[in-house]
Amino acid sequence: MKTTGIIFINLGTPQAPNSGAVRKFLREFLSDRRVVEVPRVIWMLILYLIILPFRSPRVARNYKQIWMNDTSPLRYFSQRLVDGVSLKFSDSYPDAKIHTRLAMTYGDVSISSAINELLESGCERLFFIPLYPQYSATTTAAAHDQICHYFSQCRDIPEWAWLKSYYDHPSYIAALSKTVRQHWSDNGRAELLLMSFHGIPKRNVDLGDPYQLHCQKTAEALALDLGLNEKQWMLTYQSRLGKAEWLQPYTDKSVINLATNGTKTLDVICPAFAVECLETLEEIDGEANEFFIENGGNAFRYIPCLNDSEEHQNLLFSLCKPFLEEKNVNFR
Ligand SMILES: C=CC1=C(C)c2cc3[nH]c(cc4nc(cc5[nH]c(cc1n2)c(C)c5CCC(=O)O)C(CCC(=O)O)=C4C)c(C)c3C=C
Ligand SMILES: [Fe+2]
Ligand SMILES: [Fe+2]
């Protein structure tokens, strides 16, 4: 087997839970034209005059509440996950030279430094896995842009491939299903399973982003695997930013409506997030949980992300296998 590099990509996260570090992260992330498609001049005014000065201190306080082991949960769990998969590679292919790296679209370690390191370590083939099960131009394509940008500056481009999405991969659905069943056996089963996905602006979908379709396919496959009928689960979208319409139904409003209309117990899973982060721990397990209880609910039970679990490691291993074994890589 040729010396191979595998780069797992996540979104990025601040270096520290303080206003300066959050501002730096938000500035880089929200300046990406893939993320925000509002006309440039208008957006730069909003970003520099409103979002960066006012949002950074508030979001920094939220990060402070979830900071763990001197880092952010997103970095902590992503790194542990990649280390776990790396061990699986050495166990399964003891004679092969396979190097793995975690890279972030925004902040450290950047995609270009990860590629650089792997090429310097002698990798002849590179495989990229953005840790977003559902494709969206706002996330997956943003990572893809950076990969292509690196290679656009490169004279001798290595053989490379990427995984576009894995929203309906049987091992992904099985891993989600196993976490839900485990949660049911530990805590009992709530009246409803709420599947909350990160939202995007509705306009992006109208213009051709397949993200909503991917979320629906994931949710339907998970419900089918769990044997749920249509009254026992619901799909919602969270983390809206700004005044434009985003994908609906919104998670926060749905949680309040459910509680107001008499739902007493809720199980909540966030399948679009590979690992725990601000949007799951603070926005869902913190804020949405409070909304549910304040409006009459009795129990809001958050189901953790796949994180660094054995199932998640096995899933990533199986996603890499065709590339490692130099089979015809024919991803969507
Ligand atoms: C226009 C804004 C945003 C779009 C579009 C968007 C899409 C999107 N994001 C994720 C995954 C994550 N987002 C996270 C944080 C986060 N997202 C936005 C904005 C948009 N996201 C902001 C401003 C932030 C920072 C926090 C805040 O200010 O509220 C994170 C967590 C990062 C962490 O450090 O914990 C993740 C993960 C997906 C999957 C997605 C589209 C499909
Ligand atoms: Fe986001
Ligand atoms: Fe949020």
**Residue at 284 is within a domain:** yes
Q: What is the pLDDT of residue 1?
A: 83
pLDDT in tens, 236-276: 999 999 999 999 999 999 999 999 999 999 999 999 999 99
Residue nearest to atom 13 of ligand 1 (CA): 279
Among 105, 164, 241, 273, say which to mutate for ligand 1: greatest number of ligand atoms within 8 Å of CB.
241
Across 89-99, average pLDDT: 95
Confidence of residue 326 (pLDDT cuts 50, 70, 90): confident
pLDDT in tens, 16-42: 999 999 999 999 999 999 999 999 999
* Minimum-distance ligand 1 atom for the alpha carbon of 277: 35
Taking CA atoms, 201 is separated from 11, 142, 211, 292, in Å, by 18, 16, 11, 25
Q: What is the DSSP letter of 332?
A: -
**Residue at 210 is within a domain:** yes
**Residue at 93 is within a domain:** no
Please give the distance, rounded to the nearest whole angstrom, from the Cα atom of residue 85 to the centre of ligand 1: 25
pLDDT in tens, 269-308: 999 999 999 999 999 999 999 999 999 999 999 999 999 9
**Residue at 298 is within a domain:** yes
Please give the distance, rounded to the nearest whole angstrom, from the Cα atom of residue 238 to the centre of ligand 1: 10
Q: What residues make up the domain containing 186?
A: 170-302
**Residue at 164 is within a domain:** no
**Residue at 32 is within a domain:** no
Confidence of residue 328 (pLDDT cuts 50, 70, 90): low
Q: Which ligand does the CA of 282 lie closest to?
A: 3
3-state helix, strand, coil in the chain (%, to 5): 50, 15, 35
Among 198, 202, 211, say which to mutate for ligand 1: greatest number of ligand atoms within 8 Å of CB.
198
Residue nearest to atom 24 of ligand 1 (CA): 26
User: Taking CB atoms and a 6 Å cutoff, what residues make up the pocket around ligand 1?
Assistant: 11, 13, 26, 35-36, 55, 59, 72, 74, 132, 136, 138-139, 198, 200, 211, 239, 241, 272-273, 277-279
Percent of the chain at pLDDT above 70? 98
Looking at the 3D structure of the chain, how many domains does it have? 1
Q: What is the pLDDT of residue 329?
A: 59
Q: Is 312 a residue whose pLDDT tops 60?
A: yes
193 phi, psi to nearest 5 deg: -100, 115
Q: Which ligand does the CA of 23 lie closest to?
A: 1
Q: What is the pLDDT of residue 259?
A: 98
Please give the distance, rounded to the nearest whole angstrom, from the Cα atom of residue 147 to the centre of ligand 2: 20
Across 107-118, average pLDDT: 97
Binding-site residues for Fe(2+): 198, 279
Q: Which ligand does the CA of 63 lie closest to?
A: 1
The SS3 assignment for 224 reads: helix
Q: What is the pLDDT of residue 268?
A: 99
Confidence of residue 332 (pLDDT cuts 50, 70, 90): very low
What is d(CA 138, CA 141) in angstroms, rounded to the nearest whole number? Answer: 6
Please give the distance, rounded to the nearest whole angstrom, from the Cα atom of residue 247 to the centre of ligand 2: 13
The pairing of strands 233-238 and 159-162 is unpaired
Give me the chain's average pLDDT, please.
97
Percent of the chain at pLDDT above 90? 97
**Residue at 18 is within a domain:** no
**Residue at 292 is within a domain:** yes
Burial of 299-317, coded b for 16+ CB within 10 Å and e otherwise, reads: ebbbbbbbbbbebbbbbbb
pTM of the model: 0.97
Q: Is 148 a residue whose pLDDT tops 80?
A: yes
Q: What is the pLDDT of residue 331?
A: 46
Query: Residue 184 belongs to a domain with what CATH number?
Result: 3.40.50.1400
pLDDT in tens, 174-224: 999 999 999 999 999 999 999 999 999 999 999 999 999 999 999 999 999
Q: What is the DSSP letter of 248?
A: S
165 in Cβ contact with 132 (< 8 Å): yes
